Amino acid sequence: MSADHHHDNELDPFAARVRALETILTRKGLIDPAAIDAIVETYETKVGPRNGAQVVAKAWTDAAFADWLKRDATAAIASLGYTGRQGEHMQAVFNTPDTHNLVVCTLCSCYPWSVLGLPPVWYKAPPYRARAVIDPRGVLAEFGLELPARQGIRVWDSTAELRYLVVPLRPEGTEGLDEAGLAALVTRDSMIGTGLPRLPA
């Protein structure tokens, strides 16, 4: 950033305001700087869409788990060790040959962090938030996803209390794969609904 062009240090205004808040909140005992660093590390390195891929792969291979996931996604996902920190409930929405599911948050950017990590930039940007509801098929086309005309699209609008995880259809030709092999096919976008799982090599 601009610091490269100065001999002295320079904080941009946003960085300075964040430091100001950190100072105020630390003085008041409301945050602990070490805890802040730990949260950053968790979300940068430990929480991500691999968690969700494990959930999907287990649902593909274990009918009892899939049934549990349909009925009580919050508990089924927690059983794998992935729990939300915002007290949110999870709902798993299963794609079928007749229905493709797509998740958006028109309010702001609610997203199932515990299974997908933090949302991609486009998920948080106004065009996706506005258009996913109005023209889902057009939005999917921009992602390179052309669905059969007979397959309807159902759009799910996330809230602070309820987040959605799309369970895509298991690709054909994956009968011989175990859970780990299947999880490797499950992309982040396929769990938001803007993509499909990879095909087996």
Partner 1 sequence: MPPGVEEPVFAEPWQAQAFAMVVALHRRGAFTWTEWADALSAEVHGRGAAPDGHDYYEHWLHALEALLVAKNVSTGAEIDDLAAAWERAARATPHGQAIVLENDPQREGAIAT
> In b/e form, how buried is each residue of 117-153, taking b as 16+ CB within 10 angstroms?
bebbeebeeeebbeebeeebeebbeeeebeeeeeeeb
Catalytic residue status for 110: yes
Site string for partner 1, 44-63 (x = CB under 8 A): x-------------------
Using CB under 8 A as the binding rule, whether residue 31 contacts partner 1 is answered as yes
| DSSP-based three-state secondary structure for 15 | helix
Angle formed by the axes of helices 49-61 and 63-71, nearest 10°: 120
Among 72, 80, 83, 118, binds partner 1 (CB under 8 A): 118
Among 18, 75, 180, 199, binds partner 1 (CB under 8 A): 18
Among residues 105, 114, 158, 190, the one annotated as catalytic is 105
Give the angle 148-151-152 at the CA atoms, nearest 5°: 135
Catalytic residue status for 158: no
- C-alpha of 173 from chain center: 26
Using CB under 8 A as the binding rule, whether residue 198 contacts partner 1 is answered as no
Interface residue list for partner 1 (CB under 8 A): 1, 6-25, 27-28, 30-32, 35-37, 39-40, 43-44, 85-88, 107-110, 117-118, 120-122, 124-128, 139, 142-144, 159-161, 187-189, 194-195
Residues known to be catalytic:
105, 108-110
